[in-house]
Chains A and B, each alone.
Chain A
Amino acid sequence: MLRFIVRRLLQLIPTLGGLSILLFVWLQRLPGGPEYALLPDDATAEQRAALRRSLGLDEPLAVQYLTFLRRIVQGDLGTSLQTSRPVLDEFFLRFPATFELAVTAMLIAVTLGLPLGYLAARKRGTVLDFAAVGGSLLGICTPVFFLAFILKVVFAENLGLFPSAFRLSPGLSRTDITGFVVLDGLMTREWDVVTDALAHLVLPGLALASIPLAVITRMTRASVLEVMGEDYVRTANAKGLHRTTVRTRHVLRNALLPVVTAVGLLAGSLFAGAVLTESVFAFPGIGSFVYAATQTRDYPVLTGFILLIATMYVFINLLVDISYSLLDPRVRAQ
């Protein structure tokens, strides 16, 4: 197992290496560099050129790339052009917010998606099934940005059920231990902080959950339908086992295997999805920071963010593979 984990972590190197080259070439081709975003419109050509030079953007691409690599090996993702602070520090500062949001979204998606998909399979062809299938199609098709906006307008601004922005209500005092608001609140028993933070998570959490929820519902439904037709389910019924035993031990246990993989892949995509959701709800996470970075052509932040996502994917995949091997003895044997 250890060898397997190490081998998978070593895969990170070529993955990130390849990705960073692609990024470099791609960013270079984007029209309008930071010299336009950071300087006022009436800046002279000389001023713009000076800025490019000071950022090292006038060097040949290969040289820029090598400089970048050398710094990355030292754990330095560069300095944000917006805030003039190290990119890594900015990420660390905002990571807890995004993480809380992503976990909320995943919890919503899993706790609703699994039962919904399972029921749709059991009641195949009924109104409930059509509603689940149709609803999930809608969930996949609706842009997250649009959904976030609708949720905000309806439930926050019109109905006033939930706050429309930020992680916490302004003026609420809290003790900061880990940076994770909900976790800190639980540890210090500041219940008002916990409820307030959760209320702030509901709408962005729902918006971010829409795609994973739809995918999990559909996958669970398809998987349960397939497993219900398997020979071993017939055997379980032939043994006269209780319906519930057949459904849990024999149907669900097997049907959830492919869903685990899907959940892992979706978890990775949540961080990318957070960019738009966070910006709609002014949620102070990595996502809204990166959104701002796209506006100002903050190259170091963008590069760092994409490398961060890629690293997360590799780690999450590793987690998925490990949990899969715990769940499926056939994989364990190999």
Chain B
Amino acid sequence: MSSSTPLLAVDELSVVFHRKGHGETRAVDGVSFSLEEGRVTGLVGESGCGKSVTSLALMGLLPERGVKVGGSAVMRLSDEGEDLVEADLLKVSQRRMRDLRGTQLAMIFQDPLSSLNPVVPIGVQVTEILKRHRGMRGAAARKEAADLLYRVGIPDPTRRLNEYPHQLSGGMRQRALIAMAVACKPRLMIADEPTTALDVTIQAQILELLKDLVTEEGTALLMITHDLGVVAGLCDDINVLYAGRAVETAERGPLFADPTHPYTVGLLGSIPRLDAPRGEPLTPVRGSVNDNIAWADGCAFAPRCDHYTMECLQGPPQLVRMADGESGSPGGAGHVHRCVNPISHADVVDRAVLESPAVAGDDEEERG
């Protein structure tokens, strides 16, 4: 953390889809978090809670029509000189965003096979980004592409340059995609469940590769995952999302030691373990995501919560910061949750309200 401002500060990000005949879907409903260089930030939560939409919003890759994005995502673009160059990723022009993608921020996706163009050789898919952002051409670009493939652990890279995606194994494909993502040394990388489609042994290798990147290059990694082992083994900071909002945010230690939000407790299972083996999914929580109420009316998790009281249905619960030392582990200062009846390991003393009550307009939103 070289600077006092974070690399990326996401503030009250919201994404609303409008579809004819479907009304509105609030896929992301006010999510805030920040990313630091050299740290891995996890985004966890059940299917449909808005993880992918959050990452696509940051990348500017949401569909152009029928989407309303709110909030801000300010990224520090350079530290050179005294001037701080910043850009709000949600507001820059599409043109500028194309310059930033690949150079400042990059993304790898869940399914490596479908994420690669089946009819274009791997080499071209790597060199095209070198041409675009680093002005490299011909033999120099091919050499750099081979180096990149080699660096992400692809043996015999020169031969691979001429091959097509279907000729590579699943792990190799994901490595190739990582090579493309790191080709221009972006300072921020987003990985959306990068190992879900891979074998368990390959998963571990890919995670190791990502971890090395973060430590060696000081990249900030936003890691989206369902995997408890990945959360425990890789993420420094964790944001637990539920129905488009963060319900608990903490560093890894405090979160595993003192999960406070009933949903987090449910996800981590009855005995949260830091040494959870990789590949172990987050514990499913009783009920389904569809059993929720609008955040405007109260806690969206209430229908599935064992701890709910009438208080939970009096408007949206506020984000609450846990007092210093209250959390069992050091570093608990950034431990925040959104619950009126937190599971207490120590009582929540300081109920510092971190956000203003919902604005009146929120109440009009109805979920289908």
Q: Which residues of A contact B (CB under 8 A)?
A: 230-232, 234-243, 245, 249-250, 253-254, 257, 327-330, 333
Contact = CB atoms under 8 A, between A and B. Distances in A.
Contacts of B99: 240
A327 B164 CA distance: 12
B124 to A, nearest CB: 8
Interface stretch (B71-79, B109-117, B307-315): B109-117
B161 to A, nearest CB: 14
Given A234-B109, A333-B167, A239 B180 contact: yes
Contact of A254 (B109, B119, B121, B167): B119
B118 A232 contact: yes
Nearest to B190: A238
Chain B interface size band reads 20 to 34
14 contacts: A231-B111, A235-B116, A235-B117, A235-B180, A238-B61, A238-B102, A240-B97, A240-B132, A241-B132, A249-B124, A329-B119, A329-B121, A329-B164, A329-B166
Contact of B106 (A236, A238, A327): A238
Contacts of A239: 101-102, 106, 128-129, 132, 180
Contact of A253 (B98, B106, B109, B120): B120
Given A235-B177, A329-B166, A240 B120 contact: no
B28 interface: no
A67 to B, nearest CB: 51
Secondary structure dominating the interface of A? helix
Contacts of A242: 98, 132
A72 B144 CA distance: 62
A279 to B, nearest CB: 43
A240 B133 CA distance: 8
A285 B132 CA distance: 52
Interface in B108-165: 109, 111, 114-121, 124, 128-129, 132-133, 164
Given A234-B61, A237-B101, A238-B61, A250 B167 contact: no
A232 B101 CA distance: 15
A325 to B, nearest CB: 12
Given A234-B109, A333-B166, 6 more contacts: A231-B115, A232-B118, A240-B100, A240-B103, A257-B119, A330-B118
B294 interface: no
A253 B97 CA distance: 24
Nearest 5 interchain pairs by C-beta: A240-B101, A240-B102, A231-B114, A329-B164, A232-B117
A249 B101 CA distance: 18
B107 interface: yes
Nearest to A238: B107
Contacts of B97: 240
A32 B222 CA distance: 80
A257 B114 CA distance: 17
A234 B132 contact: no
B232 interface: no
B35 interface: no
A76 B46 CA distance: 73
A130 B59 CA distance: 32
Contacts of B117: 232, 235-236, 249-250, 253-254
Contacts of B128: 239, 241, 245, 249
Contact of B119 (A234, A238, A328): A328
A201 to B, nearest CB: 35
Contacts of A241: 98, 102, 128-129, 132
A245 B128 CA distance: 9
B225 to A, nearest CB: 18
A239 B121 CA distance: 16
Contacts of B101: 237-240
Most buried by B among A230, A243, A329: A329
Nearest to A327: B119
Contacts of B100: 240
A236 B180 CA distance: 10
Given A253-B119, A327-B119, A232 B164 contact: no
Given A234-B109, A240-B103, A329-B164, A249 B61 contact: no
A240 B118 contact: no
A327 B268 CA distance: 49
A254 B164 CA distance: 14
B129 A237 contact: no
B103 A254 contact: no
Contacts of B106: 238-239
A241 to B, nearest CB: 5
B103 A250 contact: no
Nearest to A234: B61
Contacts of A234: 61, 109, 115
Nearest to B186: A240
Contact of B118 (A237, A243, A245, A329): A329
B141 to A, nearest CB: 14
A243 B98 CA distance: 9
A255 to B, nearest CB: 11
B127 to A, nearest CB: 11
Most buried by B among A239, A328, A329, A333: A239
Nearest to B111: A231
Contacts of A254: 117-119
Interface string B49-81: 000000000010100000000000000000000
A327 B120 CA distance: 10
A283 B287 CA distance: 73
Most buried by A among B101, B103, B109, B128: B128
Most buried by B among A240, A242, A257, A330: A240
A249 B120 contact: yes
Nearest to A231: B114
Nearest to A243: B98
Contacts of A253: 117, 119-120
A248 to B, nearest CB: 11
Nearest to A125: B65
Contacts of B103: 240
B102 A232 contact: no
